[in-house]
Every structure is written in C-alpha cells, then in structure tokens.
Amino acid sequence: MCVCVFVNIYIYIYIYIFFFFFFFLFGHI
C-alpha cells in the first residue's frame, strides 16, 4: 500500500470535520 492513499484519507477526514464544524457554527448562529 502506498502512503499517499493514507495521507489522502487523512486530508479527506480533516476537510469533512472542518466542513461539519463550519456548518454547525453557522447553524447555531
């Protein structure tokens, strides 16, 4: 397995959490 795949998944999770946090903040405001 290539390390690039693991890094890509990590970045995807980070973006998902960031979007969720952003949506949560805007939803409560």
Residue spans of the domains in the chain: they are 1-29
pLDDT tens profile 1-29: 678 889 999 999 999 999 999 999 888 76
* CA gap 18, 12 in Å, rounded: 10
Tell me what pLDDT residue 28 has: 72
pTM as predicted: 0.52
Phi and psi angles of residue 25, each rounded to the nearest 5 degrees, phi first? -65, -50
Residue 13 belongs to what H/E stretch?
helix 3-28
